[in-house]
């Protein structure tokens, strides 16, 4: 690479070589409205039980809050545009839908590795520069920073929309003490489109550009540890891990080229059309084997069983009743509770029999509430 070119240009060429589909630079204080918007969101309680979002809100709200020495933010995007329509299996009752982002390798690992490679290159090119790399888990607001760096704009679904890659970019960031020339926002907007807002199955957008995570299927199936509130169970349909609906309907996706997606994110065959009957048979050890290397492993077997049971209850297929019955005696209360709900819908007669045998001896208050057809009492915060 020719050294006489500016470092920003060489950085972007290196990022592309490493596999990033998008790279832009913002000044560290380029998104000043973010901290106040985050505070307002937290004050509404829209983050639900994601208490880690409250805990380091000061640091999350601005790059300098996290690291006072940071001068520039390098925002990066890696494409995971799917080749197939993510909504195609919506009507397949006996099959679960895993969101596109989780059908391949865990992006936390893949993106982090590439970020580190790019950061190492930068430090070698600019000795004395200090760097920190982030993807998802640190108190960093990747979307507004990516917008400020010109990767796209935050759409009405709140995710970053790119002219070239639609809604299918994983984001990551490198904070550096280097003073780099900023790209500034690229512009772009949703205009009068509201496709994502109307597609949402659980009405999770109180207004355009604002999400109530507590209503989002992604939150309910991944972040939420307890029982899924009754009000959302039917709407969840056969989504067993995350949700793609608001992303999948975005018209900007038509410019996203699936072949540009990183090979690591190509879907694993067994996760594209997973049969609920197979998943419901997993014990802890087989769950770990099937989901090794996948982000799904992070939620653990019990939460995944809970999700699969909700999907089974929505399947309309009595063939799944024996699997639900077997899970009525699962050691995990969250699994037992979901099994009760599923069985009530799949085979009311068998449910009645099971209730007589089990309800009175059930020790867990949330599971007892399920036998009574009630929403689970919320655990204390
Ligand atoms: C918490 C979180 C969630 C939560 C909350 C979602 C949310 N939108 O905040 C839940 C669990 C629901 C979730 C779900 C998903 N997530 Co998530 N999530 C995060 C995380 C860790 C933090 C996001 C955050 O800071 N939220 C706080 C809110 C306040 O910030 P915000 O959404 O930017 O809010 C802005 C708007 O409200 C806006 N705003 C407010 N008022 C107004 C008014 C106007 C006029 C305008 C223009 C704007 C505006 O300003 C706020 C500040 O920028 C990020 C990783 C990271 N560290 O950034 C990933 C991240 C956002 N998630 C990601 C993904 C892929 C998903 C899912 C698609 C996964 C799936 N398929 O199931 C869904 C999508 C749901 C959705 N529509 O957002 C990607 C998004 C990539 C992209 N292209 O944007 C990220 C960046 C992870 C990554 N590294 O790639 N996620
Ligand atoms: S991910 Fe699904 S549930 Fe969440 S906001 Fe988007 S469409 Fe709604
Ligand atoms: S679907 Fe429409 S409104 Fe939603 S993010 Fe895409 S362009 Fe914006």
Q: Looking at 116, 142, 176, which one is the last position of a domain? A: 176
Cβ of 243 closer than 6 Å to ligand 1, yes or no, is yes
How far, in Å, is the centroid of ligand 3 from the Cα of 165? 13
Candidates 97, 158, 217, 235: which one to mutate for ligand 2, based on the most atoms within 8 Å of Cβ?
217
Cβ of 249 closer than 6 Å to ligand 2, yes or no, is no
pLDDT for 216 equals 98
For atom 6 of ligand 3, which residue has the closest CA?
250
Atom of ligand 1 nearest to the CA of 218: 72
pLDDT for 246 equals 98
Q: Looking at 115, 141, 176, which one is the last position of a domain? A: 176
Domain span at residue 322 reads 195-246+264-371
Candidates 46, 90, 157, 223: which one to mutate for ligand 2, based on the most atoms within 8 Å of Cβ?
157
Cβ of 57 closer than 6 Å to ligand 3, yes or no, is no
Cβ of 246 closer than 6 Å to ligand 2, yes or no, is yes
Whole-angstrom distance, CA of residue 355 vs CA of residue 209: 45
Could you tell me if 58 and 109 lie in one domain?
yes
Whole-angstrom distance, CA of residue 341 vs CA of residue 312: 10
Note whether residue 254 is domain-resident. no
How far, in Å, is the centroid of ligand 1 from the Cα of 37? 12
pLDDT for 101 equals 95
133 bridge partner residues? 174
Q: How far is CA 187 from CA 81, 152, 162, 281, in A?
A: 22, 7, 10, 49
Cβ of 149 closer than 6 Å to ligand 1, yes or no, is no
Could you tell me if 272 and 158 lie in one domain?
no
List, in order, residues 6 or more apart from 307 with CB less than 8 Å away. 96, 221, 228, 236, 239, 240, 241, 338
Note whether residue 159 is domain-resident. yes
Cβ of 204 closer than 6 Å to ligand 2, yes or no, is yes
Could you tell me if 337 and 214 lie in one domain?
yes
Could you tell me if 132 and 233 lie in one domain?
no
For atom 2 of ligand 2, which residue has the closest CA?
243
pLDDT for 269 equals 85
CB neighbourhood size of 270 (10 A): 13
Could you tell me if 139 and 220 lie in one domain?
no
Note whether residue 332 is domain-resident. yes
> Which helix (H) or strand (E) is 247 found in, with range?
helix 245-248
Could you tell me if 53 and 153 lie in one domain?
yes
Could you tell me if 151 and 203 lie in one domain?
no
Candidates 90, 143, 200: which one to mutate for ligand 2, based on the most atoms within 8 Å of Cβ?
200
Cβ of 200 closer than 6 Å to ligand 2, yes or no, is yes
Ligand minimally distant from the alpha carbon of residue 142: 1
How far, in Å, is the centroid of ligand 2 from the Cα of 199? 8
Residue 169 phi, psi dihedral angles, 5° rounding: -120, 130
Catalytic residue (one of 130, 136, 278, 364): 136
Note whether residue 118 is domain-resident. yes
Ligand minimally distant from the alpha carbon of residue 167: 1
pLDDT for 4 equals 83
Cβ of 219 closer than 6 Å to ligand 1, yes or no, is yes
318 exposure class (CB count in 10 Å sphere: 0-12, 13-18, 19+): exposed
Note whether residue 185 is domain-resident. no
Half-sphere exposure at residue 132, Cβ-oriented, CA atoms within 13 angstroms: 17
Number of domains in the chain: 2
- pLDDT tens for the chain, 381 residues long, are 556 899 999 999 999 999 999 999 999 999 999 999 999 999 999 999 999 999 999 999 999 999 999 999 999 999 999 988 999 999 999 999 999 999 999 999 999 999 999 999 999 999 999 999 999 989 999 999 999 999 999 999 999 999 999 999 999 999 999 999 999 999 999 999 999 999 999 999 999 999 999 999 999 999 999 999 999 999 999 999 999 999 999 999 998 887 666 788 889 888 999 999 999 999 999 999 999 999 999 999 999 999 999 999 999 999 999 999 999 999 999 999 999 999 999 999 999 999 999 999 999 999 999 999 988 765 544
Looking only at Cα atoms, what is the longest distance across the chain? 80
Could you tell me if 233 and 130 lie in one domain?
no
Whole-angstrom distance, CA of residue 10 vs CA of residue 126: 12
pLDDT for 380 equals 47
Atom of ligand 1 nearest to the CA of 41: 29
Tokens of 23: 């790279």
For residue 136, indicate whether it is catalytic: yes
Radius of gyration, CA atoms only, the chain? 22
For atom 4 of ligand 2, which residue has the closest CA?
216
Note whether residue 124 is domain-resident. yes
Could you tell me if 31 and 118 lie in one domain?
yes
Cβ of 149 closer than 6 Å to ligand 2, yes or no, is no
How far, in Å, is the centroid of ligand 3 from the Cα of 261? 21
Note whether residue 187 is domain-resident. no
Could you tell me if 37 and 107 lie in one domain?
yes
Could you tell me if 230 and 365 lie in one domain?
yes
Ligand minimally distant from the alpha carbon of residue 237: 2
Cβ of 248 closer than 6 Å to ligand 3, yes or no, is no
Q: Looking at 123, 149, 176, which one is the last position of a domain? A: 176
pLDDT for 1 equals 55
Could you tell me if 208 and 149 lie in one domain?
no
Note whether residue 184 is domain-resident. no
């Amino acid at each position: 690479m020719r050294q006489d070119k500016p470092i920003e240009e060489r950085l972007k060429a290196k990022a592309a070589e490493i596999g990033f589909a998008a790279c832009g630079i913002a000044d560290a204080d380029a998104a000043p409205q973010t901290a106040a918007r985050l505070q307002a969101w937290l004050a509404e309680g829209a983050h639900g039980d994601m208490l880690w979002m409250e805990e380091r809100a000061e640091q999350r709200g601005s790059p300098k809050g996290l690291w006072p020495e940071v001068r520039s933010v390098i925002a990066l995007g890696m494409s995971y545009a799917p080749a197939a329509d993510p909504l195609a299996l919506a009507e397949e009752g006996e099959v679960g839908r895993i969101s596109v982002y989780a059908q391949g390798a865990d992006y936390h690992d893949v993106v982090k590795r590439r970020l580190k490679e790019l950061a190492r290159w930068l430090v070698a090119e600019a000795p004395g520069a200090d760097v920190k790399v982030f993807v998802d888990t640190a108190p960093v607001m990747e979307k507004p920073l990516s917008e400020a760096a010109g990767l796209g704009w935050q759409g009405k679904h709140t995710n970053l929309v790119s002219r070239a890659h639609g809604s299918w970019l994983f984001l990551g960031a490198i904070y550096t003490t280097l003073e780099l020339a900023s790209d500034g926002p690229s512009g772009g907007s949703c205009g009068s489109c509201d496709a994502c807002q109307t597609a949402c199955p659980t009405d999770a957008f109180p207004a355009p550009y604002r999400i109530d995570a507590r209503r989002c299927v992604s939150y309910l199936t991944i972040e939420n540890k307890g029982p899924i509130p009754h009000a959302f169970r039917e709407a969840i349909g056969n989504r067993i891990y995350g949700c793609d609906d608001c992303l999948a309907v975005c018209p900007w996706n038509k410019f996203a080229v699936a072949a540009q997606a990183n090979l690591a994110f190509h879907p694993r065959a067994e996760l594209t059309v997973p049969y609920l009957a197979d998943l419901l048979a997993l014990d802890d050890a087989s769950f770990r084997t099937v989901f090794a290397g996948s982000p799904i492993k992070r939620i653990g077997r019990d939460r995944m069983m809970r999700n699969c049971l909700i999907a089974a209850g929505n399947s309309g297929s009595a063939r799944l009743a024996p699997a639900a019955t077997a899970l009525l005696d699962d050691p995990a209360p969250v699994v037992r509770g979901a099994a009760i709900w599923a069985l009530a819908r799949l085979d009311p007669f068998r449910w009645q029999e099971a209730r007589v045998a089990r309800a009175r001896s059930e020790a867990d208050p949330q599971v007892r509430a399920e036998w009574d057809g009630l929403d689970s009492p919320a655990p204390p915060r």
